[in-house]
């Protein structure tokens, strides 16, 4: 009997942890899309030396909204120069247009 109760409790814990992981993933996805939609408003197309401009706009959006949008401050801290360079190269390969949905899937936030 104790064995069955233990198995049921273990299954409940696994289900709960999976649920929490998916909820966190959903929040990060929403935060990611918000960030890139705001970036797109200021910089719809990236070209040539746009990596510097992209970094400037991302920092600007992060600074503007990090206190008012849940998780954005933490999310913005993950964007170092190397991460933005990688995203910049990805954007160039995607017709130089900022597509929030594709960027967030590419960065594994969605």
Q: Are 58 and 83 in contact (CB under 8 A)?
A: no
Task: Specify the number of domains making up the chain.
Answer: 1
Report CA torsion sign: 73, 91, 22, 11: negative
pLDDT tens per residue across span 22-66: 344 568 899 999 999 999 999 988 877 788 899 999 999 999 998
Q: Are 91 and 103 in contact (CB under 8 A)?
A: yes
Residue 14 lies in a domain: no
Residue 84 lies in a domain: yes
Domain coverage including residue 67: 25-106
pTM of the complete model: 0.72
Residue 4 lies in a domain: no
pLDDT tens per residue across span 54-97: 999 999 999 999 888 878 888 888 777 788 999 999 999 988 89
Residue 85 lies in a domain: yes
Residue 69 lies in a domain: yes
Residue 3 lies in a domain: no
Rounded to whole angstroms, how far apart are CA atoms 13 and 69?
A: 30
């Amino acid at each position: 009997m104790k064995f069955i109760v233990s198995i049921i409790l273990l299954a409940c814990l696994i289900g709960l942890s999976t649920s929490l992981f998916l909820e966190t993933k959903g929040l990060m996805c929403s935060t990611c899309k918000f960030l890139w939609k705001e970036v797109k408003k200021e910089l719809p197309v990236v070209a040539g030396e746009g990596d510097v401009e992209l970094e400037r706009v991302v920092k600007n959006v992060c600074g503007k909204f990090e206190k008012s949008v849940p998780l954005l401050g933490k999310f913005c801290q993950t964007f170092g120069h190397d991460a933005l360079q990688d995203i910049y190269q990805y954007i160039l390969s995607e017709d130089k247009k900022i597509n929030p949905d594709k960027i967030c899937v590419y960065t594994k936030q969605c």
